[in-house]
Structure 1
Amino acid sequence: MRNPTDRETPVPPKTMTIKLPTGWFYGALIVILSAWILNSFLQAMLAACVTAIASWPLYTRFAARLPRCIGRNSSSLIFTLALTIFVLAPLMFAFGALLSEAHALLSAIAVADKKGIAVPQGLENAPLIGPWLAARWQSQLASPGALLTWTQRTDAAALVPWAQSLGQFTVRHAFIIFFTVLLLFFLYQEGESLAAGFRRVLRRCLGEHADGFADLATRAVRASVNSMLVVALFDGLASGVAYAIVGVPHAAVWAAVTGLLALVPFLGYVAVGALALQLAMTVTTTPPLLALGLGCFVLFCGDKVVRPVVACNGVRLRFVWVLMGCLGGFEVLGLIGLVIGPVVLTLARELWEQRVRDLAVVDVTDSNPQVSQSA
């Protein structure tokens, strides 16, 4: 018998340890370091991937119709250059036209300031703040040389940070465009092998549902890109009709500029604002506020109505989710976020529905033991 006075040696509690292979640690370290190094190229990589996925059917048709003597490198280079010109040339035209109109507008303002800038037509009749704006305009800008005096009082040093920010913005986006084109050429060359490897890794991670997720993401990307093109076309045509109805001078040019800049969110409003300023500074029969209101209304309908309606057919999301995906993606990733946002929400919705279906199958199996035994 054990002596009651003897003390039992306490047994240390068992602890559960998780042992991971050493390769996992080094692999994760390499992935983290790679992501850190390529962080500055994230937007360019996403833009190149989205462009390659959206234009891949066109590229395959283009490459199939080329002579056999032209290799893959040459076909990829030709298609990349053609696509770059097709995308950038209209945007360069829009920016050039906008700069030209801005120069003409500044010249008109300088000439008008010598005699005093008259209150724009219809400003007093604007609802709510129209009379207040007209009174402020009359007191600040209607007297000769008022604008020149106001600009002379402005501190030139305060404009330096704005100029630096604009320069950094321009250099940054030129950097993104250059590497997007370079990566796009690489993706056209190696796209088939990269897609096959990606699907193989995805099958290992997600199992039998991997191909469905990949196909869904591809359709969502193409639907989002198509929605951007449709919105630009809608904004150009609708604004052209609106400008022609109210009698805007050079309505076709302004409609083209508005539609092309509408490819980039909020840039279309810059074109509409420049048009309203030009109408305010020149003697025309078109009320500037009417042109401004119509242009903003067209852009609002394109961004908030046409884009989600067109995109929802491919991404299979309701209107509000497509809208939030576009706006949230643009806030996080910029222009490319307009495509990535709805795609991510589409994949999240598919993961949720797949999980619900799997749990429903488990519940049915647990409630019917005979089914599980027979299986």
Structure 2
Amino acid sequence: MDMTRDTRPAGPPDRSHAAARVALVLGLVALGLWTLHGFLPALAWGAILALALWPLYARFVRRVPPGRHNVVGPALFTLGVALVVLVPLALVAVQAAREAREVLQFWREIEQSGWPVPEIVNRLPFGAEAVAAWWRDTLAHPAGASEWLHHLDNGALVGVGRSVGTQVAHRAMLFGFTLLTLFFLFRDGPALAAQGLTACRRLFGPRGERVARQMAASVHGTVDGLVLVGLGEGVLLGLVYVVAGVPHPVLLGALTAFAAMIPFAAPVAFGIAALLVALKGSLVAAGAVVAAGLLVTFLADHLVRPALIGGAAGLPFLWVLLGILGGVESFGLLGLFLGPAVMAALVLLWRDYTQEEPAPAPALVDGHGGALSRSG
């Protein structure tokens, strides 16, 4: 008997083994995503914050060198991020609680004595008499105001309150896991980045690393273009609210800053501020608030944001806008950052695919017709 005969299976079994390995890997990945689906938003937020804050963290680590276990630096920086987020939210919550008490007090006064016709109604350019007459018949006396207010469903209000409480608890848990993810990303960031680039090269070839770097650059640009520009809009319009006499300018400025992070959402915030000023009877101040809001948002949305986001991600403004709006529609607030990153990767792949291959350099031949080398 020939003991040296090769008994290994031929080609088809090898292909079946490779297909089985691919199926096993895909199955495990799908199972892992299904297991972690409730925590994927926290992981995504942690990755986005780590990418956006990594330059600041690198400077911080230079001043606070990592210890033996590299725990102090990531813990302190993560704590700083938590305070930056939680302190403004706490201030807004306290102010909102005060406003809620004032609203309830105002509600009780309306039920007891009615709601007088506001001065702004008498200054309407048209329909002032009709609106004032309806107001006097409906809201100006206690019986009419109480009847109108009781049309609101108390059960629905209780349901809304419970829903808000549930959402707050869910968001708090999500934020806690985001901070936990952020800590580990800060601690193991360089190793994870190297592993990610290696995986991209093995899965997608030389272009994989370029795509990963382009997506990271788009996250940096999106954070600068949305968060920082939105905060700047909130500060500028908050000052306008103070000058124009808008009630509660700090709270409305914070609302404007949050709304300004979403393209074309800021007009809702400064429109509310203008309406509150108009209800006080100052139409000129309301017009000034609207004019300042339109000017600030026009400059931010058409000049500053395209330069920051498009310049960092290498995207035209149209794809930046579509990425942001489409991302918000598909993924919610997280899509503000995921959308431009996906668009940046797709545009980069499209450019690489449609770029013409350079022509081969002509060969240099010797006197006998043999090729010596190629130039360049």
TM-score by length of 1: 0.79
The aligned residue for residue 191 of structure 2 is 193
- Residues 343 and 135 of structure 1: CA distance in aligned 2, closer, same or farther (over 3 Å): farther
Say which of 254, 257, 265 aligns to 1:257: 254
Q: CA deviation at 1:104?
A: 1.9
Supply the distance in 2 between the matched residues of 1:98 and 1:322 (Cα, whole angstroms): 34
Supply the distance in 2 between the matched residues of 1:130 and 1:45 (Cα, whole angstroms): 55
Supply the distance in 1 between the matched residues of 2:307 and 2:102 (Cα, whole angstroms): 38
Q: Is the 8 A contact 1:329 1:339 kept in 2?
A: yes
Supply the distance in 1 between the matched residues of 2:16 and 2:45 (Cα, whole angstroms): 39
Q: Partner letter of residue 93 of structure 2?
A: F
Supply the distance in 2 between the matched residues of 1:108 and 1:147 (Cα, whole angstroms): 12
Q: Partner letter of residue 357 of structure 2?
A: V
Q: Which moved more, 1:92-101 or 1:283-292?
A: 283-292
Q: Partner letter of residue 329 of structure 1?
A: G
SS at structure 1 position matched to 2:24: helix
Q: Is the 8 A contact 2:266 2:297 kept in 1?
A: no
Count of equivalent residues: 352
Supply the distance in 2 between the matched residues of 1:242 and 1:131 (Cα, whole angstroms): 32
SS at structure 2 position matched to 1:40: coil
The aligned residue for residue 230 of structure 2 is 232
- Residues 156 and 69 of structure 1: CA distance in aligned 2, closer, same or farther (over 3 Å): closer
Supply the distance in 2 between the matched residues of 1:75 and 1:55 (Cα, whole angstroms): 14
Alignment of 1:26 onto 2:24: yes
Q: CA deviation at 1:78?
A: 0.9
Q: CA deviation at 1:206?
A: 2.3
- Residues 63 and 277 of structure 1: CA distance in aligned 2, closer, same or farther (over 3 Å): same
Q: Is the 8 A contact 2:267 2:293 kept in 1?
A: yes
SS at structure 2 position matched to 1:62: helix
Q: Deviations over 1:161-206 (max 9, x none)?
A: 4334323322222221111111111111111111111101111122
The aligned residue for residue 4 of structure 1 is none
The aligned residue for residue 59 of structure 2 is 61
Supply the distance in 1 between the matched residues of 2:129 and 2:37 (Cα, whole angstroms): 51
RMSD: 3.7
- Residues 125 and 135 of structure 1: CA distance in aligned 2, closer, same or farther (over 3 Å): same
- Residues 271 and 93 of structure 1: CA distance in aligned 2, closer, same or farther (over 3 Å): farther
The aligned residue for residue 118 of structure 1 is 116
SS at structure 2 position matched to 1:122: helix
Q: CA deviation at 1:332?
A: 1.5
Say which of 152, 171, 174 aligns to 2:172: 174
Q: Is the 8 A contact 2:278 2:285 kept in 1?
A: yes
Gap regions ≥5 residues in structure 2: 1-11, 365-370
Q: Is the 8 A contact 1:221 1:343 kept in 2?
A: yes
Q: CA deviation at 1:323?
A: 1.4
The aligned residue for residue 139 of structure 2 is 141
The aligned residue for residue 368 of structure 2 is none
- Residues 170 and 356 of structure 1: CA distance in aligned 2, closer, same or farther (over 3 Å): same
The aligned residue for residue 155 of structure 2 is 157
The aligned residue for residue 216 of structure 1 is 214
Q: Which moved more, 1:292-301 or 1:256-265?
A: 292-301
Gap regions ≥5 residues in structure 1: 1-14
Q: Is the 8 A contact 1:91 1:260 kept in 2?
A: no
Q: CA deviation at 1:239?
A: 1.3
Q: Is the 8 A contact 1:235 1:302 kept in 2?
A: no
Alignment of 1:332 onto 2:330: yes
Q: Which has the higher contact order (CA 8 A, sep 6+)?
A: 1
SS at structure 2 position matched to 1:88: helix
